[in-house]
Amino acid sequence: MECCTGQHLEEEAMSDWEERYKTGDMPWEKGAPHPELVEFLKKHPIHGNVLVPGCGYGHDVRAIASTADEVVGLDIAPSAVAGARQHAAVGGERYVVGDLFALPRQMRGAFDWVFEHTCFCAIPVAKREAYVAAVAEVLKPGDRLFAIFYVNPDMEPGESGPPFGCPPEELDEYFRSDFQLLSEWTPTRTHKGRDNRELCRILQRK
Ligand SMILES: C[S@@+](CC[C@H](N)C(=O)[O-])C[C@H]1O[C@@H](n2cnc3c(N)ncnc32)[C@H](O)[C@@H]1O
């Protein structure tokens, strides 16, 4: 079918997210960074260069910018990036419109950390291997991914995502070849309605 070229699907995916920002249909937008990230940073400040894929309005980006050297918030939706740029700068953060699955060459191995929060659950399930490959590509061996995975979203019976949940055993499968699991825990602080639905993991690039 002529409409189903890869490029067309990518454009369609981008415009869906863009449309949601334009119409204000953003149930994920909480107006604040993830509370577990804020607590984590108090005890374990993140240093170096950090990529936050699917950054939305950039609340997590700015929290990380309070300890890191440079933080790049990446989002496919231009309106998300425009919204993020409205906020006062905290440190060395910047925002880029771009597709995690078509990253520019200069991002290869350019980051010390990647922070994941509601991007992995937002992409189509069929793109999860590509997500792991993209995150692995921007890191160097020994660098780390700090992820707050939305493993079990609160969905109505029969309702489909996004968000698309992913049980821990499946996360193991997706990340096993490129990452070593260093630690995991259930966040003790989270946004309303997400209690016991998320899993934090620190994964090290092999
Ligand atoms: C559920 S929202 C979460 C936004 C933000 N992390 C937050 O918690 O507020 C998912 C975000 O991922 C972005 N996104 C989806 N696919 C993407 C892709 N291929 N590359 C970059 N960003 C993408 C969307 O535009 C959207 O802003």
What pLDDT digit, counting tens, does each position of 21-75 carry? 999 999 999 999 999 999 999 999 999 999 999 999 999 999 999 999 999 999 9
130 contacts 99 by C-beta, under 8 angstroms: no
Provide the pLDDT for residue 109.
Answer: 97
84 contacts 58 by C-beta, under 8 angstroms: yes
Length of the chain: 206
pTM of the shown model: 0.94
Q: Estimate the crossing angle of helix 128-138 against helix 168-175, to 10 degrees.
A: 50
**Rounded-to-integer distance, Cα 168 and Cα 89, Å:** 35
- For the chain, percent of residues with pLDDT exceeding 90: 88
Provide the pLDDT for residue 27.
Answer: 94
Q: What is the mean pLDDT of residues 178-197?
A: 96
Between β-strands 139-150 and 198-205, what pairing exists: parallel, antiparallel or unpaired?
A: antiparallel
Over the range 23-61, which residues count as b (16 or more CB within 10 Å of their CB) and which as e? eeebebbbeebbbbbbebbeeeebeebbbbbbbbbbbbb
Provide the pLDDT for residue 66.
Answer: 98
Mutate to test the pocket of ligand 1, among 14, 17, 87 (most ligand atoms within 8 A of CB): 17
Structure confidence by residue, pLDDT tens digits, 122-180: 999 999 999 999 999 999 999 999 999 999 997 877 787 899 999 999 999 999 999 99
Provide the pLDDT for residue 11.
Answer: 52
Pocket, ligand 1, Cβ cutoff 6 A? 17, 28-29, 53-56, 74-77, 80, 99-101, 117-119, 122-123
SS3 category, 86:
coil
Structure confidence by residue, pLDDT tens digits, 90-121: 999 999 999 999 999 999 999 999 999 999 99
Q: Mean pLDDT in the chain?
A: 93
Decide which of 3.30.70.20, 1.20.1250.20, 3.60.130.10, 3.40.50.150 is the CATH code for 2-205: 3.40.50.150
What does the DSSP 8-state code read for residue 137? H
SS3 category, 187:
coil
Mutate to test the pocket of ligand 1, among 15, 75, 114, 129 (most ligand atoms within 8 A of CB): 75
Q: How far is the CA of 28 from the centre of ligand 1 (A)?
A: 10
The domains of the chain are located at 2-205
Residue type, 130: A
Provide the pLDDT for residue 13.
Answer: 59
Provide the pLDDT for residue 4.
Answer: 34
Nearest atom, ligand 1, residue 77 CA: 25
